[in-house]
A and B are shown apart, each in its own frame.
Chain A
């Protein structure tokens, strides 16, 4: 028998090589996003070390050097969970997201872009061609005499890299793969991320498909709720630059559009505390499909007058309806993007 044979070695020695007490493995990935969601993980601050002591983060392109091949090599379902932020626009993102879905038992849509399409989803109001023309030809600062634009045709030379395809539409994560849970927000608060990880580690996860935040509208937890009148009557909506707004009074009572009543709560009223009205990044409340459509009802309920002329005048004071009411949810709305009809 060789001297290194197993039975002669102490138990701790074995532990070093064959895996210490097994910690669940998780991964983090980003698609079309601004990096704010990654930042929200870092914002866990001291809690990050607590998290790191309970899970192994094996794949996190923004922080760890693990490659596509490494991910491919692990067993299917080996990861306990993956947090994916950003919407899906590029072909490569779609491939990676599908791969991560295969390797992970649970998929969390992390942040507004993965949840609803996010701000990047506003691109669905334009066609792919419009976007490319704008970015590569029309912008005044662009100098592009050869008309170079991204191509996905294979390039045979070894020095050239093949680009990922730029797809027709921006999609939230659940239009590409099955999503188990949603962590909403642009970005989610550290408290929500901590909560999601704790639910995972303690095996207390709610039914599949849940959004891990409040179920009711933001107003229920708004610090200014007491100053919200029961009936609102607005003749014309005001934009922030037009008024000196009161930092303690409900925005709606000041004729400033705030989407709090049509938006899921759970954000701790961060914008409100910063004296800015809600723009809806937590998405629709439970059982609402289309946040913007509900916001139409919200604004309609506030309009003063009972004749079409007065109402029309008030409506004219709302700028960029889709951009305002669907700022984070164009890609996940009922229509999902602009239809190609004339206007």
Chain B
């Protein structure tokens, strides 16, 4: 019965956003202060810099249930750490190519630049991403039991 109701509920994408502290998180804050409305599908994680986003974080998000991952940083040239966002852009370029081979649609991963004053852009990007991922549907995972943790030792 529960499963039936679950099946009837419209799909709400689960989107993890990595927002840089100095620009994009500020931009999100500004959107909040301005009472702008955006889809509630984004779960924001504040990082000090978009360059801090290890590709492991992105893969981990996808593995643990994210249907989409959004990385938001300062505009090129504006990075608080000079070129952390350029680093993020380079990683993203490789990562985006790579996730295809893992069976993850490229549209599920997006990188964008949002400054502290661009609350409208923030709202637009989140809305676009949500709709895009909604159209793709949930990210299928082959075998959740296998994907959950290891039997073996504490670390390797």
Contact = CB atoms under 8 A, between A and B. Distances in A.
B87 A341 contact: no
A169 interface: yes
Contacts of B106: 343
A139 B152 CA distance: 37
Contact of A338 (B59, B102, B136, B153): B102
B94 A174 contact: no
B98 A325 contact: yes
Given A335-B63, A343-B105, A318 B94 contact: yes
Contacts of A341: 103-105, 136, 139-140
Interface residues of B, number: 42
Interface residues of A, number: 58
Contacts of A296: 55, 91, 94-95, 98
Contact of B150 (A174, A300, A303): A174
A88 to B, nearest CB: 11
A281 to B, nearest CB: 14
A287 B156 CA distance: 7
A30 to B, nearest CB: 19
A169 B143 contact: yes
A284 B54 CA distance: 15
Contact of A175 (B87, B95, B105, B150): B150
A293 B58 CA distance: 9
A169 B140 contact: no
Interface of B: 54-56, 58-60, 62-63, 76, 83, 86-87, 89-91, 93-95, 97-98, 100-106, 136, 139-143, 146-147, 150-156
12 contacts: A174-B152, A174-B153, A177-B151, A178-B153, A293-B56, A296-B94, A300-B90, A300-B94, A301-B87, A306-B83, A333-B59, A339-B139
Interface of A: 115, 125, 127, 168-169, 171, 173-180, 182, 208-209, 211, 283-284, 286-290, 292-294, 296-297, 299-301, 303, 306-308, 311-312, 315, 318, 320-323, 325, 332-343
